[in-house]
Amino acid sequence: MSQLSKLSIALTPEMNDLIHQAVDSGEYASTSEVVTEALLDWKQQRTLKQFDDDELRRLWAEGIASGPGRLGTMAAIKQEARRRLETSASDKD
């Protein structure tokens, strides 16, 4: 059996009410179960965020390494984006 430790936390009245509503509705067996699931979700989101950050860094480095873009100015980039938007809108009609 895994070792458990007790932790005391302070919650706003709204958070406290939400936890107790989840238990009272039968969705969870205890307040500890609600908090444990919330922490597992938080851990998963942190992991995904780290993955997203790492992926963004990789893509950024890949873009820099690929050399200059084909659209040299911000005006050209905006013009191309508008063209694509118009093309996309007309394809939906």
* pLDDT score for 65: 93
DSSP string, the chain: ------------HHHHHHHHHHHHTTS-S-HHHHHHHHHHHHHHHHHHHHHHHHHHHHHHHHHHHT-S-SS-SHHHHHHHHHHHHHHHHHHH-
Q: Give the domain ranges of the chain.
A: 13-92
With a cut of 90, say whether residue 32 has pLDDT above it. Answer: yes
Predicted confidence (pLDDT) per residue in 77-93, tens digit: 999 999 999 998 888 77
Provide, rounded to the nearest whole percent, the portion of the chain with pLDDT above 70: 99
pTM for this prediction: 0.54
* pLDDT score for 12: 97
